[in-house]
Amino acid sequence: MTEPRTRVSRRIGAIAESATLKVDAKAKALKAAGRPIISYGAGEPDFPTPAHIVEAAVDAARDPKNHRYTPAAGLPELRQAIADKTARDSGWAVDASQVIVTNGGKQAVYQAFQTLIDDGDEVIVPAPYWTTYPEAIALAGGVMVDVFAGAETGYRVTVDQLEAARTPKTKALLFVSPSNPTGSVYDEAQTRAIGEWALEHGIWVISDEIYQNLTYDGQRALSIIEAVPALADQVVLVNGVAKTFAMTGWRVGWMVGPKDVIAAASNLQSHLSSNVSNVSQRAAIAALTGDQSVVDDMKVAFARRRTLMLDELARIPGFVSPAPGGAFYVYADVTGLLGREWGGQLISTSLELADYILEHADVAVVPGEAFGPSGYLRFSYALGDAELLEGIQRLQKLFA
């Protein structure tokens, strides 16, 4: 007997709404209704895009050559600027033909899995993980195998854990450093060990480097391809301008990889979305080739807020927050607060705890359930210092 048809296809019907966007939307709705909400939910810098980048876009919008279709894989000048950036920051000398410009890093993540994964292929993903990876893997017919690392290891998996998860079906490893949601950065030895393990077993590495330029305390997020150059034929880098240049709304990301993989991904993109907005691409050229000190200015603010956040969270009993090396998130282990009554209410999960915090302190945070296991809260520190402090002070009172 054939199964009845569903209105929405099973494949698309199975996709969950982005949990982080959901928290953000709820916080914004409550704020609009007049509640004094402080939100740590946002995954984006709160700064405006630097002026010289905006100016380049304004000029581009006035130039009729940008009013037409351009090559699906990206403007040649931008592909070259990305190749130069890859050499500069990821230590990998690539040709512009190894670059494809995508509609944000998110599309690059989606296309990387679509291009590499066949039905039943397994992809190892360190948990906690960014909420988009499981959906992008499932949409490619892949099977996500998550490997969890908790606060005690700074949320970093080991080669032994990866090896325990490896099967003959393992096709790829998702590697992300600095990580969303944990902000953790793998050190050089760890990155090299993981890269060598992947090389030895012929496992592709999809390395999400979107937070690569946002690191603190003198740490550097070494690219896995710089650590293990021999991975060049089995690596795809994913990156974009969103986080580094406060350009989340401009939608410019990219994939860098072996020529055949990039050519295949370009074929996909030529039917899916064609070229990214030329105005945004011109803005991205200005971002990548212009004055990089604008990034340093934003980093100074992030570094200050990170310290403030860690110091203040440390004063709340039950919050265990490893110092994150990068991105703009603190990932607090709150397992010590669960299974207890708060305000006369039994709270067993971080989802319930996040709801309780929103209800009773007007503070929005993203529960661990959005990124894997329960027991954690993600705080973004991409908000103003005064607000940031006030929100944590509200939590200090709530859990006093």
Residues engaged in binding ligand PLP (CB under 6 A): 43, 104-106, 109, 130, 176, 180, 208, 210, 240, 242, 248, 253
Cβ proximity to ligand PLP, 180 vs 321, nearer residue:
180
Cβ proximity to ligand PLP, 305 vs 378, nearer residue:
378
Shortest CB 248 distance to ligand PLP, Å: 5
DSSP string, 9-57: -HHHHTPPPPHHHHHHHHHHHHHHTT---EE----S--SPPPHHHHHHH
Shortest CB 130 distance to ligand PLP, Å: 4
Among all chains, which residue has been given the structure tokens 């310290």? 307
Cβ proximity to ligand PLP, 185 vs 242, nearer residue:
242
Cβ proximity to ligand PLP, 237 vs 261, nearer residue:
237
Shortest CB 346 distance to ligand PLP, Å: 33
Name the residue number minimizing CB distance to ligand PLP: 104
Cβ(19)–Cβ(131) under 8 Å?
A: yes
Ordered alpha helix ranges (H), 156-292: 159-165, 188-200, 224-227, 259-272, 278-289
CA dist 366 and 42 (Å) reads: 9
Shortest CB 393 distance to ligand PLP, Å: 27
Q: Which residues pair with 254 in a beta bridge?
A: 101, 239
Which are the contacts of 126, defined by CB distance < 8 A and separation ≥ 6? 146, 147, 148, 149, 156, 157, 174, 175, 176, 179
* Residue 131 DSSP label: T
Shortest CB 4 distance to ligand PLP, Å: 36
Element holding 101 (H helix, E strand) = strand 99-102
Cβ proximity to ligand PLP, 186 vs 312, nearer residue:
186
Element holding 364 (H helix, E strand) = strand 363-364
Cβ proximity to ligand PLP, 126 vs 195, nearer residue:
126
Nearest C-alpha neighbor of 50 from the set 243, 230, 197, 247: 247
Nearest C-alpha neighbor of 208 from the set 269, 267, 123, 281: 123
Shortest CB 105 distance to ligand PLP, Å: 3
* Residue 325 DSSP label: S
Cβ proximity to ligand PLP, 136 vs 261, nearer residue:
136
Cβ proximity to ligand PLP, 181 vs 347, nearer residue:
181
Q: Rg of the chain over CA atoms, in angstroms?
A: 21
Shortest CB 231 distance to ligand PLP, Å: 20
Shortest CB 243 distance to ligand PLP, Å: 7
CA dist 28 and 9 (Å) reads: 31
Nearest C-alpha neighbor of 245 from the set 208, 306, 289, 180: 289
Shortest CB 241 distance to ligand PLP, Å: 7
Cβ proximity to ligand PLP, 248 vs 350, nearer residue:
248
